[in-house]
Amino acid sequence: MDAFTTLAAIAAPLPMANVDTDKIIPARFLKTIKRSGLGVHLFDSLRYDKDGNEKPEFVLNQEPYRHAQVLVAHENFGCGSSREHAPWALLDFGIRCVIAPDFADIFFNNSFKNGILPIRLPRAVCDLLMDDAKLGGNARVTIDLPRQVVVRPNGEEIPFEIDAFRKHLLLNGLDDIGQTLQHAPKIDTYEASQRAQLPWMPSTIA
C-alpha cells in the first residue's frame, strides 16, 4: 500500500448525499478480486449513458477533474452494501482522499485499509471546498496528513481529526498484511520453536 503523507491535488466536487457503493461501483463489475481495472467503471451509471458514451455533464468526464485525486461530497458517502470494490475503484481512478460530512462505517474502514484517506468535515466547509474546486485546475487543495489540515487554495488551513493508529498506518503505507509482516521475525522464531518441540508435526502446519 502506498504511503499517504501530503497530497496537493485537483479536487472534484460531487454535491450529492447518500452516494451508495452500488453507485460508486455497480454490482455487475464485482466479478474480479483484482484491485486494478475498476477505475474505468467508477460511478458508471453517472459517467456513461446506456450506449457506453460519456455524459459530458458529469464532473469526472470534465477537465481538469479527469485527473482529480480528491473528491468532495455530501453526507453519508459510501452507504449501502459492504463491497470493498468501492475503495478499489476510487483508488484505481486515482482518488486518494474523500472529504464529506460523514461516511458509512464499513466504507470508512475499508478506505483506510486501501490507502484512501476519508476526512470528515462539516457540510458548510465541504461546500466551501466545492466552491474552491469549481475554480479549476489551478485551485489545488492540499491534504497535509502529518499536520492534519486541509489547505484551501487561498492558504486557509482547516484542521481535521483522525485516529492516531490509522494515521500511523497511512503515513507508513501499512495495510493488514503490512502490519503482520512487521512481526515476521517473531513469527519465524515461533515457527522454528514449534518445529523443534513438535518434530512429528508436518512443517506446513507447524
Buried-exposed string 106-145: b where 16+ CB fall within 10 A, e elsewhere: bbbbbbbebbbbbbbbeeebbbbbbebbeeeeebbbbbeb
Domain that holds residue 109: 6-174
Confidence band for 178, pLDDT divided at 50, 70 and 90: low
Tell me, yes or no, whether 156 and 102 share the same domain: yes
pLDDT of residue 146: 98
- 202 belongs to a structural domain: yes
- 1 belongs to a structural domain: no
Query: Considering the chain, what is the average pLDDT of its residues?
Result: 91
pLDDT of 33 strictly over 80: no
pLDDT of 62 strictly over 90: yes
Q: Are 14 and 76 in contact (CB under 8 A)?
A: no
3-state secondary structure 15-70: CCCCCEHHHHCCHHHCCCCCCCCCHHHCCHHHHECCCCCECCCCHHHCCCHHHCCE
Tell me, yes or no, whether 182 and 168 share the same domain: no
Tell me, yes or no, whether 185 and 116 share the same domain: no
pLDDT of residue 205: 46
Tell me, yes or no, whether 132 and 76 share the same domain: yes
Find the Cα–Cα–Cα–Cα dihedral 167, 93, 31, 25, rounded to 10°.
Answer: 80
Percent of the chain with pLDDT over 90: 76
CATH (domain of 81): 3.20.19.10
Count of domains for the chain: 2
Residue 77 is classified by DSSP as: B
Mean pLDDT of 36-64: 96
Tell me, yes or no, whether 59 and 117 share the same domain: yes
Tell me, yes or no, whether 117 and 203 share the same domain: no
Tell me, yes or no, whether 28 and 122 share the same domain: yes
- 32 belongs to a structural domain: yes
Tell me, yes or no, whether 84 and 158 share the same domain: yes
Tell me, yes or no, whether 163 and 118 share the same domain: yes
For the chain, how big is the Rg over CA atoms in Å? 20
- 186 belongs to a structural domain: yes
- 67 belongs to a structural domain: yes
Residue 30, all three cell numbers: 464485482
Tell me, yes or no, whether 52 and 11 share the same domain: yes
Residue with C-alpha cell 460511478?
A: 43
Mean pLDDT of 169-185: 73
How far is Cα 202 from Cα 206, in angstroms, rounded to an integer?
6
- 57 belongs to a structural domain: yes
Q: Are 97 and 7 in contact (CB under 8 A)?
A: yes
- 138 belongs to a structural domain: yes
Tell me, yes or no, whether 143 and 50 share the same domain: yes
107-134 pLDDT, tens per residue?
999 999 999 999 999 999 999 999 999 9
Tell me, yes or no, whether 57 and 116 share the same domain: yes
- 131 belongs to a structural domain: yes
Which residues have CB under 8 Å from 145's CB, separation 6+?
4, 5, 6, 7, 117, 162, 167, 170, 171
Whether the link from the prior residue into 64 is cis, omega within 30° of 0, is: yes
Mean pLDDT of 16-45: 92
